[in-house]
């Protein structure tokens, strides 16, 4: 039975189902994250009493009443929101509130049968939903085909799911939550320690350090030498650290170079076509995810790609 589940067909079908859940994560996790951020921010603001205000703005100054009123208004709006998690409430049409039935939630098939529209109000449903489901199923199938019915296939599929979610959330919101990046780091280290992957634990630990460090160094150079804002967000650093932990430090250069190359080509193309403003940062997470996925499925090719380009940048 286990061999059937871990076969390409079994993991491919499982990937379709997990892809449906990934759509929920992409839609809800940023909202959950931002609600928590606002609650934390309000709690921090409440600690800013009159004494700290006077220390910042002058001994004779007092906090304006509008700040307390705005804080109370935001808190009331947060308290009125219905509870939100990855499992509750049930998925609904954002236009009419129609609760999605189980028969309407079959990966890919339901979207095709419904012709991409809500069964209740006819509002168009984005094609991204079935595309994410199909992509997850195809990538799970590819992992099982490449690595066989074993632990490494399971680890690879888990990494694929995390990378896909991170790519889509970063693309939509420019956020890379710790609740996604840190589990990828932990997955890589634990899998190496348990010998579920061909990567030695020392190489996995070094990969996490190299992945984080190389983007941190680039961001620091950009900020100090060029006197510009840091070009790398900490989420990008943690994401590449997770890729390094999963695949070893040897895979980091190739995955990073591939991500940078594809990102540069697409970025220049979008700017040239007027689809993106030159002064607006382009999320790097989707391209890191592409580099990571390529390194999972074709590790030798990606390592060779990194090794061939390293001399060009003095490495």
Q: What is the dihedral of CA 42, 47, 53, 56, to 10 degrees?
A: -90
Question: Which stretches of the chain drop beneath a pLDDT of 50?
Answer: 313-314
pLDDT of the residue at 233: 81
pLDDT of the residue at 226: 66
Contact 143, 160 (CB under 8 A): yes
Sequence-ordered list of residues with C-beta below 8 angstroms from that of 66, at least 6 positions apart, any chain: none
pLDDT of the residue at 286: 96
Sequence-ordered list of residues with C-beta below 8 angstroms from that of 182, at least 6 positions apart, any chain: 238, 242
Contact 170, 235 (CB under 8 A): yes
The pTM score is 0.90
Q: Which two tokens stand for residue 18?
A: 């997990």
pLDDT of the residue at 314: 47
pLDDT of the residue at 230: 58
Residues facing residue 124 across a β-bridge:
117
pLDDT of the residue at 297: 96
Sequence-ordered list of residues with C-beta below 8 angstroms from that of 38, at least 6 positions apart, any chain: 74, 78
Longest dimension (CA), the chain: 75
pLDDT of the residue at 270: 75
Contact 252, 205 (CB under 8 A): no
Contact 209, 241 (CB under 8 A): yes
Cα–Cα distance between 285 and 255 in angstroms, integer? 12
Helices (H), the chain: 2-5, 8-47, 50-57, 65-80, 109-113, 128-147, 151-173, 178-193, 201-225, 234-247, 252-272, 285-297, 299-309
| Dihedral over Cα of 31, 288, 284, 12: its sign | negative
pLDDT of the residue at 97: 80
pLDDT of the residue at 228: 63
């Amino acid at each position: 039975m286990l061999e059937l589940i871990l076969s390409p067909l079994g993991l491919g079908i499982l990937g379709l189902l997990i892809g449906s859940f990934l759509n929920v994560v992409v839609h809800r996790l940023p909202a959950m994250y931002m609600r928590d951020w606002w609650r934390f921010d309000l709690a921090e603001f409440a600690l800013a009493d009159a004494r700290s205000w006077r220390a910042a703005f002058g001994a004779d100054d007092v906090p304006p009443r509008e700040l307390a009123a705005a804080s109370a208004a935001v808190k009331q709006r947060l308290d009125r929101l219905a509870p939100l998690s990855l499992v509750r409430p049930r998925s609904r049409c954002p236009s009419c509130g129609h609760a999605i039935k189980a028969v309407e939630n079959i990966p890919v098939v339901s979207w095709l049968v419904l012709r991409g529209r809500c069964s209740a109000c006819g509002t168009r449903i984005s094609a991204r939903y079935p595309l994410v489901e199909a992509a997850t199923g195809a990538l799970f199938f590819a992992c099982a085909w490449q690595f066989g019915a074993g632990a490494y296939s399971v680890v690879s599929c888990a990494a694929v799911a995390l990378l896909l979610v991170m790519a889509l959330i970063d693309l939509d919101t420019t956020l890379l939550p710790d609740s996604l990046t840190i589990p990828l780091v932990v997955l890589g280290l634990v899998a190496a320690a348990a010998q579920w992957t061909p990567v030695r634990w020392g190489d996995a630990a070094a990969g996490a350090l190299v992945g984080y460090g190389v983007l941190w160094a680039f961001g620091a150079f950009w900020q100090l030498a060029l006197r510009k804002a840091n070009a790398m967000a900490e989420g990008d650093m943690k994401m590449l650290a997770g890729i390094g932990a999963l695949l070893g430090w040897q895979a980091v250069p190739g995955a990073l170079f591939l991500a940078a190359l594809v990102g540069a080509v697409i970025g220049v193309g979008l700017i040239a076509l007027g689809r993106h403003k030159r002064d607006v940062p382009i999320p790097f997470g989707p391209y890191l995810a592409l580099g990571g996925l390529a390194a999972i499925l074709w590790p030798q090719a990606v390592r060779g790609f990194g090794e061939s380009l390293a001399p060009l940048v003095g490495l």
